[in-house]
């Protein structure tokens, strides 16, 4: 009986980690991309902050609700759907909060962006290190993959913002 409970707890830990990584990674990718695009297209840091805060709140609610529905529609773990939805939404919002923080602290766009990306890299590394230790597996490959996706989206968003700035003169 203890072995079965141990495996169930272990399985739930991985599902909880999956819910957290869903929220965290989506926040890292979408918010760094959004801010990178806005930073080049708009000069006003308060517009960037306001847009990032609104996007963070609405997206964290959306991600939590989506994970709730996904778990409910999935396998036999539907009883934990609300818990996993909370993990996803909270991870999303917490990640966004620390990514937006440099725009409250600094007033130089280059410094704001550099600190935001440093925070993103640290979060990606920290979570993958923790998950690797939990699974007793190497973490560097997952770290580099998550980092590559995040940076790739941010670069595309930056280029979109640059094009918008040139096309619309914003």
Domain spans in the chain, listed from the N-terminal domain onward: 2-168
Side-chain-facing half-sphere of 154: CA atoms under 13 Å: 22
- Rg of the chain over all Cα atoms, to the nearest angstrom: 18
More confident residue, 83 or 15: 83
Look at residue 19 in the predicted model and tell me its pLDDT: 86
| pLDDT, greater one: 14 or 155 | 155
Residues 135-157 have pLDDT tens digits of 777 889 888 998 898 888 888 87
| Mean pLDDT value of segment 1-28 | 65
pLDDT at site 7: 41
Question: Contact, 119 vs 102, CB < 8 A?
Answer: yes
Mean pLDDT score across all residues of the chain: 84
**pTM of the predicted protein model:** 0.80
Copy the structure tokens of residue 83: 């818990």
In whole angstroms, what is the distance from residue 115 CA to residue 94 CA?
A: 16
pLDDT value, residue 157: 79
- Per-residue DSSP letters for 116-138? HHHHHHHHHHHHHHHHHHHHTS-
For residue range 32-84, list pLDDT tens digits in order. 888 888 887 776 889 999 999 999 999 999 999 999 998 888 766 667 889 99
């Amino acid at each position: 009986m203890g072995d079965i409970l141990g495996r169930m707890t272990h399985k739930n830990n991985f599902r909880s980690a999956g819910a957290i990584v869903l929220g965290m990674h989506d926040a890292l990718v979408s918010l760094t991309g959004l801010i990178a695009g806005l930073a080049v297209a708009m000069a006003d840091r308060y517009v960037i902050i306001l847009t990032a805060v609104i996007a963070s709140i609405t997206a964290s609610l959306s991600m939590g609700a989506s994970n709730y529905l996904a778990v409910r529609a999935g396998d036999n773990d539907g009883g934990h759907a609300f818990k996993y939805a909370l993990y996803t939404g909270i991870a999303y919002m917490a990640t966004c909060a620390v990514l937006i923080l440099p725009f409250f602290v600094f007033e130089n766009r280059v410094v704001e962006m550099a600190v935001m990306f440093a925070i993103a890299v640290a979060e990606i590394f920290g979570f993958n290190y923790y998950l690797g230790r939990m699974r007793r597996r190497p973490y560097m490959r997952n770290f580099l993959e998550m980092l590559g996706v995040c940076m790739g989206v941010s670069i595309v968003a930056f280029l979109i913002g640059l094009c918008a700035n040139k096309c619309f003169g914003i």
